Every structure is written in C-alpha cells, then in structure tokens.
Structure 1
Amino acid sequence: MYELRSVTKRYTRGKDTVDALAGVDLTIADGDRLVIQGPTGGGKSTLLQMLGGLDKPTEGEVVLDGTDLAKLSEARLTRVRSENIGFVFQSFNLIPTLTAQENVETALVPLGVKTKERRERAAEALASVGLGERLRHLPSELSGGQQQRVAIARALVKEPKVLLADEPTGNLDESMRDEIMDVLERMWKELGLTFIMVTHDSAIAKKAPRLATIRKGRITVKENAAS
C-alpha cells in the first residue's frame, strides 16, 4: 500500500530552516490500522498530509500502490485523492446550507456519478453510520457526534482504499469519542480499509494494532500488544 522512503519536509521560517519530517521511512500494508501520536509540532499532521497527497515532500518518495505521489501533477493528485483516499478531520468541514445527504453527495461529484446514484449511495452511507433517519437535516440540526458521522459517511461514500483521520474525536466529549471510534473501527473491518489516524488521545492510541510515535520529525513504530 504505502512505502515512504527518506521523506523530509523542510520549511523556511525567516532565517531558520525547520524539518517537520526528517528522513522518515515507513511501510503501511493493505488493511493496516496505524495510529500516529506525538507532541504538537512534532510532524503528525505533516505526515498525514504526505500520505493524503495534500502536500509534497522536500525530499524522498511517498509511494502509494506503486505510484510516487511526490512526482504526480496536481491534476493527477486530485484524481488519486478523489478516487482512493477518504479524509476525516477534527473540524467536520460540512457545508452549513446543505443537508446531511447533500454533504455526502459532494464527494461523488468529482467522480462524475449521476444524480440518482449519488443520492442512493449517500443515503446508504449515512445509514451505515446510523443516520438513516437524518438525511434531510442541516448540520446545525445535528449534534457534534452526528456531524462527524456525516463527515465519515462523506469520506467513505466513494469507496476509497484509504481512510485518513486527523484528530477525528478532538472536538467531542468522551462518550461521543467512543461512539465515533466504534464507527470508524467497524468501517475499517467491514470495508477492508487501510486506516491511518492522528490523535493526541492516549486511550485511543493504546488500542491501535500499530502505533507510530513522531517527535521532531522522526518516527518510531511498534506493535501494540494491548490491541
């Protein structure tokens, strides 16, 4: 699935140069569930952006299914993201004037899916995350946990190979956090996804099959016996 080879991301801040990632080597297999943890500013989100093709490394290779994302044009990268990668973020990023169903449909528009099929697939995706009765609700009419479920449905409706989640429970209380994690883990198992998640939450990290810790741009990975 993923092979990262000597990935470095370097930023210039005034006269200073900062390596957000410093020669990262990482292999992520098909169907893996990897949690990435580390201090603020340590490189977690930068790494996720590399995996999602949202940014390119200064040096190194980010290979997804044999294709180096770092070498693709922006048009090709956009296509890869649209077809193969689902994103879930801490802020739900829902369009406030669209219903839950319409928000989920937006993921299918770039793929050229016809209107009738878009509606059917969006309704099925929302039902799969427990929101089959909320299709016509606006985001403002939903709780935080429900909004995140809509965001998960939007990420998965296009049937991606990879699900990337950046602090998806960061805006939720503990009980809602557990509900959302249950949904994400169930979708990972049922759909055979490769699931990669950034979190500050140690309770979540302890349950992951594999845990990557990133500090000052350098990464270590261990198998989690408690998973």
Structure 2
Amino acid sequence: MTRTDRLYALVEELRAVSPRPRSARWLAERFEVSSRTIERDISALQQGGVPIWAEPGRTGGYCLDAARTLAPLGFTVDEALAVMIALGTLATSPFRDSATSALRKVLAVMEDRSLQQTAELATRIHLLSDDRSNEAPPSVAYALRTGHVLRLSYIDRDGEATMRDVEPMGFVGKGNDWYLIAWCRLRDGLRAFRGDRMVQAEILGERAPRRPLRAEDLGIVEGRLRAVGLGDDPT
C-alpha cells in the first residue's frame, strides 16, 4: 500500500467509526506500519485540513468529524483537472487561502490513480500573469461573509491615499485583478476598490445592514458580468 493509499484509507477508517476513536496502536496494526508512521500520517492529514483530533485517555485515540469531511470523490480526470485549474485562478483573489485549503481536501479524498493522472496533466497547464503584485487582502472576503465594515487604507488611480470605511457588498474579478464592490461612506455611494491598491484592510466591530447589489448598479462599460455558480444573475 502506498502512502497516498494509506492516507485515503485512514480517513475512511475514521469516518466509518465516527464519532468513536481509533488508537494509533490499533491503526498501526490495521495498516501494518509503526505507530510513529500513523502519527505522521495523521499530522499530514490535519495539516491538509482534515478535521481529525485526538481524544486523551486509555480509551482515547483519533476521531474524525464526518459531518465536515467529503465522501470519496468519483471525479473523472477531466473533472479533477478542471477543479484544480479553477481553484488555481483564485491565487490573487481574496479567496486564495480558502482555495488552497479546498484543493488539499479534494486531493485527500481522490482515488490514487486519478490523482496521479491529474497531477501529471496539471504540469502541462500554466496561467499567465503580469509581474506586478495584485493580491487583495484575505480579510475582505471574511468581511463580506460576516457583514463587517472595513476600514480601508486605499490608493486611488491618481495615487492619492485615503482612509475609508466601507460596507462590503460583493466582488468582481477581471483577469488577475479583483475588485471589492462596497458602499463607501466617505463618498456616500457605491464604489469598486481594486485589491492591489488596498494598503491595509482593517475589520471593524460594526456590522452593516445588507444592501442589495444589482448588475445595473455597477455601471459596467466594457465586458459582460458572468455570475459564479449555476445561475446567470450576479445578484
């Protein structure tokens, strides 16, 4: 059994008995390896985002939260490659950390042969970007999800630095650039803030009321808005 196979099997063994624990010794005997190897494998899974924790005591061991894990994924190679590419395009977005974590979780529950084929094909796919830094602060994604007001230190197109309190409403991605769509209290209106122009984004304790966001309110002059997901309505 390869290590990849064993990692996959470990997750499935812990899922099958969840929420009961399995000791490192029991798992070592089950997979015919040392307890130290099991401990290293569990650590690798935990670092990859698999929700495994240790219960202390004589009857303790490792437990897995089955409600927070993916069942074995029957992706085809093309489907897995598409997921990998899609998550890779988020490298400059406010969702980059979550995308990396999501990819680890997907790879952790893929069948070994499909995973190897996908990894080989992925070496043939590249994304072209320019040299400038265009990453948006990850905190803006959290602010949108929770409804918290952001205090932005922002450099506008004329190079002027301003401090603005904004109410996050959504995001628009164009190429490698991501724009936070927010209600700007300084300008008392809807504004778009480019990620690489945000010097700092501080999450304030205040939660703003949810404002409706319609495509026509954005005033897009060039291009067409395309919604993320199965629908076509960007609201």
Which has the higher relative contact order, 1 or 2, with Cα contacts under 8 A spaced 6 or more apart? 1
Normalising by the residue count of structure 2, what TM-score does the alignment of the two structures yield?
A: 0.29
Normalising by the residue count of structure 1, what TM-score does the alignment of the two structures yield?
A: 0.29
The structure with more radius of gyration: 2
More strand by share: 1
